[in-house]
Amino acid sequence: MVQKPSIPKGTRDFGPVETARRNYIFSTIREVFGLYGFSPIETPSIENLSTLMGKYGEEGDKLLFKILNSGEWLKDLEGESFTASDSAKLTSKVSEKGLRYDLTVPFARFVVQHRNDLTLPFKRYQIQPVWRADRPQKGRYREFYQCDADIVGSDSLVNEIELIQMIDSVFEKLGIRVVIKLNNRKVLAGIAEIIGEPERLTDITVAIDKIDKIGIENVKVDLAQRGLSQEAIEKLVPVLDIKGTPEERLNQLKSLLSNSETGLLGIAELETLISATTQLETKAEIDLDVSLARGLNYYTGTILEVKALDVEIGSISGGGRYDNLTGVFGMPGLSGVGISFGADRIYDVLTALNLFPDTVTSAPSVMFSNFGEKEAIAAMRMLKELRSEGIPCEIYPDAAKMKKQMTYANSRCIPFVALVGEEEMAKGMMTLKDMTEGTQTLVTPEEAVKIIKRK
Amino acid sequence: MVQKPSIPKGTRDFGPVETARRNYIFSTIREVFGLYGFSPIETPSIENLSTLMGKYGEEGDKLLFKILNSGEWLKDLEGESFTASDSAKLTSKVSEKGLRYDLTVPFARFVVQHRNDLTLPFKRYQIQPVWRADRPQKGRYREFYQCDADIVGSDSLVNEIELIQMIDSVFEKLGIRVVIKLNNRKVLAGIAEIIGEPERLTDITVAIDKIDKIGIENVKVDLAQRGLSQEAIEKLVPVLDIKGTPEERLNQLKSLLSNSETGLLGIAELETLISATTQLETKAEIDLDVSLARGLNYYTGTILEVKALDVEIGSISGGGRYDNLTGVFGMPGLSGVGISFGADRIYDVLTALNLFPDTVTSAPSVMFSNFGEKEAIAAMRMLKELRSEGIPCEIYPDAAKMKKQMTYANSRCIPFVALVGEEEMAKGMMTLKDMTEGTQTLVTPEEAVKIIKRK
């Protein structure tokens, strides 16, 4: 039976070029994580549903990919009478496991499960795929990578400073100009206090989080619909409308929030971060953004988000401080702070700005053409020398017509072709053809190494 | 609600040390794949069940992890009457997708799906996890990595020679002494011919594949039970019992198989490989093993398997040539050859032989201790210098008691601790403490870089 092959909606095949480019992003991020002393961990793709359910809200529960129990999965449905609409209710009878939805909940589970083996503060990074049964659409996939670094077990702002430097370093290495937007959940709490609605922090943050997308007038309508008084809304507007340099705005905020202890604490934290990034000569633009809330309710201190300056696209990195991530797994009071890089969006930014280096390629540097059995063995001896010098190279496997071999080298964009015919073989040399220049020279393997490395 | 965290049976968490060690194995393999001109690709973890089912035998179908359809997954079961024993039959009504079971079938699907974008011969490697709902047991997991390299679209033995060199190179880099066992499916076919049972090739190979485990006498019993005549069995025994160097055994085989054209073709292929590996000075021991069959029926030419010489463990790498992998997806006649490395077993071998280099660590080279806010900023300036020289380093985030900071450094096995107190800060220097030697020196950041790199 012949099948027309396809892959599920929202998933992707990555060919050689895409994979090499993605690996370039991952290894840049991994290198920076390592330079800052973060250790890699990996958790299983499959977690117990009891670990995942209830952690991402009702909507999240629906978006979890659930794995059908092995063997007689129908056994707990026997004798049940049901309709299609009972699906959600009966899921737990046929499925005990699901695919990882993010890296944060598995990390929290990991920390609690291995608490006796970990030294705190614990700095981990994790670069692994996650799965969400979202409706597939442009830029949204059902399988995608997350690249997370977190520190748990330390309240110090030094962690935030290091994380900001890491973001700065990753985007400097990638050549992407960015602005790092900072806010603090305590400032948001302070604002809720001074407008007289301390209990409505969630409503307020969810609404003002949308200010960039829908504008301040629509945010006002939204807040009114959420039941905020007109008085509170009018008090809120000037806070969202402060202008000037980050330092000037911090000063304005300080007087606006002078009656809120929490708010002032948040401002002091922001001042520390902004001052440190200046002293450490952070390359990225640092901005204060009081409207930044990052939807997620578990943040309790610093919130940050990164935008590319030269491409119109959503945030490409973000993070913040949270106080009680591990509580649900029985380990309360452990503070943490972390950042996450969005590899897919970073890929799109690098593509749009044409920033992938030419050296990021899936092709070898040299292809040796194949003139027959004896010549091939001689070529393979030379290939061995080149490889021992770290030069990726290959031999065309068949003694095909030269035109076919050259077409192959061209279609893979291989920069050099080496010819080892009878004459070269006798001399222990090769004719090295520079495919971009069109030149060719008779060289020893050692000379070839130099020429190729120079290029 | 507090949950006691756990992970599903047969899955694993990898902590910092294990992950660093696993990454060392993967990057060694990846480096060699790249040096030989193989390009990385990645396929989705989730494939359509129509792609996966029927490819791994009846047992394999059962071992596929199946994903419950999203939303109203019960809708096609409404009105059905069933018992638990109908589970297998009804799976397709609640599940359309499954997790990847190996990398070979997805690769075949990839080649056919993207046939118009690929230049043949196509050399790809793929290092990704696969999932099998196997009964978990020692050394067998439900999620594990495969590391595959394949060439499709070339019949040349040059491919086999390069693959053998790759195996040799990987294990040389890892420091594992191995024997590479070679056989050829055509030799097995020749044997089936000359013992008068050409139609029983599968029975014969399945039986003699077990010779190492159960011994020749039990293989004889097994063959008799499979209905092979006593005459055929008696003819088979001397073939399995040939002795001498690989070259001597090839010569004996040649006369034993002199009446089988196919058999002689297989011997000629083996001779080419053995001669080439000698000429190319392969480090690994190369052995001929006529009993090697590797169970898989899709092999049609070369078969190879790698065993560690210094540890008692199953094969740590293997592969072979197949003729019609893509046929089931509508692209017949495409020949391929490939190898696969077993990362988990390689990990066990490296552990058993204590072969992981000391440099394979998840810990940074230096920890700066933290004496307070001002000192921390000064330290972070120095950290920046060290990192720009590629030295992984970190600062203890809190200005905790020195003993606590030192305990942390020790428990992470960090080799250097740097102290930047008031005095050092004034001089722009640090006191660098060598944690293994116990010595300490006052040095500039540049001097520190040299000392750390020397170590």
CA nearest neighbour of B63 among B49, B76, B77: B49
Mean pLDDT computed over A4-16: 94
Residue B300 has pLDDT above 60, yes or no: yes
Query: CA dist A368 to A306, A405, B151, Å?
Result: 46, 9, 16
For an interface test with B, which of A33, A46, A335, A344 has the most B Cβ atoms less than 10 Å from its Cβ? A46
Q: Does A276 touch chain B (CB under 8 A)?
A: yes
d(C-alpha B401, C-alpha B26), whole Å: 39
CA nearest neighbour of B35 among A379, A20, A364, A18: A364
Residue scoring higher pLDDT (A202 or B160): B160
CA nearest neighbour of B42 among B135, B133, B148: B148
What is the reported pLDDT for A139?
80
The answer to whether residues A254 and A268 touch, using CB atoms and an 8 Å cutoff, is no
Tokens in use for A181?
Answer: 């937007």
Helix (H) or strand (E) holding A432: strand A430-434
Summary mean pLDDT of chain B: 94
Q: Which has the minimum average pLDDT: A219-223, A262-266, B355-359?
A: A219-223
Residue B162, helix vs strand vs coil:
helix
Q: Are strands B143-152 and B285-288 parallel, antiparallel or unpaired?
A: unpaired
B20 contact residues in A (CB cutoff 8 A): 39-40
Residues 6+ apart with CB under 8 A from A2: B328, B329, B330
Q: What percent of chain B has pLDDT over 90?
A: 81
What is the reported pLDDT for A239?
87
Residue A210 has pLDDT above 90, yes or no: no
List, edge to edge, every strand of the sheet that includes A416-419.
A393-395, A366-368, A416-419, A430-434, A440-443
Burial class (CB in 10 A: 0-12, 13-18, 19+), B354: exposed
d(C-alpha A311, C-alpha A194), whole Å: 37
What is the reported pLDDT for A3?
65
What is the reported pLDDT for B81?
84
What is the reported pLDDT for A205?
83
Residue-wise pLDDT tens digits, B335-345: 999 999 999 99
DSSP structural state of residue B137? B
Radius of gyration of chain B (CA): 28
Residue-wise pLDDT tens digits, B243-282: 899 999 999 999 999 999 999 999 999 999 999 999 999 9
* Chain A residue with Cα closest to B276: A377
Helix (H) or strand (E) holding B453: helix B445-454
What is the reported pLDDT for B295?
66
What is the reported pLDDT for B3?
65
Summary mean pLDDT of chain A: 94
Q: Please answer yes or no on whether A161 and B380 come within 8 Å at the CB atom.
A: yes
Tokens in use for B178?
Answer: 């191995």
Q: Which of residues 158-187 of A touch B (CB under 8 A)?
A: 158-159, 161-162, 165, 169
B302 contact residues in A (CB cutoff 8 A): none
What is the reported pLDDT for B2?
61
Residue B323 has pLDDT above 90, yes or no: no
Mean pLDDT computed over B285-302: 86
CA torsion sign for A155, A156, A157, A163 is negative
Mean pLDDT computed over B25-30: 98
Tokens in use for B140?
Answer: 């067998």
Residue-wise pLDDT tens digits, B134-177: 988 888 899 999 999 999 999 999 999 999 999 999 999 999 99
What is the reported pLDDT for A238?
86
Where does the pLDDT of residue A296 fall: very low under 50, low under 70, confident under 90, or very high at 90 and above? low
Q: Please answer yes or no on whether A97 and B8 come within 8 Å at the CB atom.
A: yes
Residues 6+ apart with CB under 8 A from A217: none
The answer to whether residues B41 and B127 touch, using CB atoms and an 8 Å cutoff, is no
What is the reported pLDDT for B15?
97
What's chain A's length in residues? 455
What is the reported pLDDT for A207?
83
The answer to whether residues A318 and A339 touch, using CB atoms and an 8 Å cutoff, is yes
For an interface test with A, which of B4, B12, B25, B46 has the most A Cβ atoms less than 10 Å from its Cβ? B46
Residue-wise pLDDT tens digits, B124-146: 999 999 999 998 888 889 999 99
CA distance, residue A357 to nearest chain B CA (Å): 17
* pTM for the structure as a whole: 0.95
Helix (H) or strand (E) holding A52: helix A49-52
Mean pLDDT computed over A139-143: 91
ipTM for this model = 0.94
Mean pLDDT computed over B172-192: 96
Q: Please answer yes or no on whether B13 and A162 come within 8 Å at the CB atom.
A: no
User: Does residue A415 have a cis bond before it (omega within 30 degrees)?
Assistant: no
Helices and strands in chain B: count of H runs, count of E runs: 17, 16
Q: Quick one: angle between helices A246-256 and A230-240, nearest 10? A: 150
d(C-alpha A88, C-alpha A76), whole Å: 15
Mean pLDDT computed over B187-191: 94
Closest partner CB to A362 (pick from B40, B381, B384): B40
Residue A1 has pLDDT above 60, yes or no: no
Residue B43 has pLDDT above 60, yes or no: yes
d(C-alpha A320, C-alpha A318), whole Å: 7
Q: Please answer yes or no on whether A37 and B329 come within 8 Å at the CB atom.
A: no
Burial class (CB in 10 A: 0-12, 13-18, 19+), B137: exposed
What is the reported pLDDT for A201?
86
Q: Please answer yes or no on whether B397 and A154 come within 8 Å at the CB atom.
A: yes
Residue-wise pLDDT tens digits, A365-411: 999 999 999 999 999 999 999 999 999 999 999 999 999 999 999 99
The answer to whether residues B122 and B153 touch, using CB atoms and an 8 Å cutoff, is yes
What is the reported pLDDT for A14?
98
Tokens in use for A305?
Answer: 């988000």
Mean pLDDT computed over B359-368: 94
